[in-house]
A and B are shown apart, each in its own frame.
Chain A
Amino acid sequence: EAGVAQSPRYKIIEKRQSVAFWCNPISGHATLYWYQQILGQGPKLLIQFQNNGVVDDSQLPKDRFSAERLKGVDSTLKIQPAKLEDSAVYLCASSLRDRGLLVGTQYFGPGTRLLVL
């Protein structure tokens, strides 16, 4: 079974530039998550999708971050414009379902390392 795919793996940009990350979840996984992991910290959830609908985006800085999941499969996360403090690893994860207690394991992708100069 193929895992969660992410691209690019690394990205270096200057502040105020724009950047986009792509994620392809495990086939059949309805739930998709984007996390931000700053060096030395645990991941922080940015946004959660159930199919192509947003379930939770309360921690997404909406003035500069946006995400979409068209057709309920692939997803993109965009930052526009980037700030120095956005330097982090952006992790995508997917799971089969997330309804009450019937939640399964989350499978994480390899992440995209972003450096903003």
Chain B
Amino acid sequence: ELKVEQNPLFLSMQEGKNYTIYCNYSTTSDRLYWYRQDPGKSLESLFVLLSNGAVKQEGRLMASLDTKARLSTLHITAAVHDLSATYFCAVGSRLTFGEGTQLTVNP
């Protein structure tokens, strides 16, 4: 059974700082997704990573995938308050989700 673990689960950071969210998964998979969810809202797709070494960037967020290590990272550069949300990674065709990382960016 595929297990997906994210860490940290809670992250409080200051504006302007950098940080990384990690997503580990237990079995080989050919695809990994990152989503954002604002409180009371649905999920918004951020990135789709389909190959080893894939790197995608959008604004202050950059996601990468290492299929050999079964690890994906979501790097936040110079955080701003608008990035406060819960971030989920999801793995595989069945989209097994991690527990989510609740990010709070403080002024």
By the criterion CB–CB under 8 Å, are B42 and A45 in contact? no
**Is B15 part of the binding interface, using a Cβ–Cβ cutoff of 8 Å?**
no
| A29-70 at interface with B (beta carbon < 8 Å) | 33, 35, 41-45, 48, 56
Kindly name the residue among A98, A103, A107 whose own CB sees the greatest number of chain B CB atoms within 10 A. A103
Give chain B residues whose Cβ lies under 8 Å from the Cβ of A107.
45
**Is A21 part of the binding interface, using a Cβ–Cβ cutoff of 8 Å?**
no
Residues of B within 8 A of A (CB): 4, 30-31, 33, 41-45, 48, 50, 88, 90, 93-100
Chain A residue with the shortest CB-CB distance to B6:
A42
By the criterion CB–CB under 8 Å, are A91 and B95 in contact? no
By the criterion CB–CB under 8 Å, are B45 and A103 in contact? no
- What's the interface size class on A, roughly? 20 to 34
By the criterion CB–CB under 8 Å, are A108 and B50 in contact? no
Chain A residue with the shortest CB-CB distance to B98:
A42
Given contacts A43-B95, A56-B94, A103-B93, 6 further A-B contacts (CB under 8 A): A42-B97, A100-B30, A103-B31, A107-B45, A108-B42, A110-B42
CA distance A33 to B88 in the complex (A): 17
**Is A101 part of the binding interface, using a Cβ–Cβ cutoff of 8 Å?**
yes
Give chain A residues whose Cβ lies under 8 Å from the Cβ of B50.
101, 103
By the criterion CB–CB under 8 Å, are A45 and B95 in contact? yes
Instruction: Map CB proximity to B onto A79-91 as digits: 1 under 8 Å, 0 otherwise.
Output: 0000000000001
CA distance A101 to B43 in the complex (A): 22
Q: Give min CB distance, B6 to chain A, whole Å.
A: 9
Kindly name the residue among B43, B45, B98, B99 whose own CB sees the greatest number of chain A CB atoms within 10 A. B43
Q: Given A101-B31, A101-B50, does the pair A106, B45 have CB atoms closer than 8 Å?
A: yes
By the criterion CB–CB under 8 Å, are B99 and A41 in contact? yes
Give chain B residues whose Cβ lies under 8 Å from the Cβ of A101.
30-31, 50
CA distance A107 to B45 in the complex (A): 7
CA distance A109 to B41 in the complex (A): 9
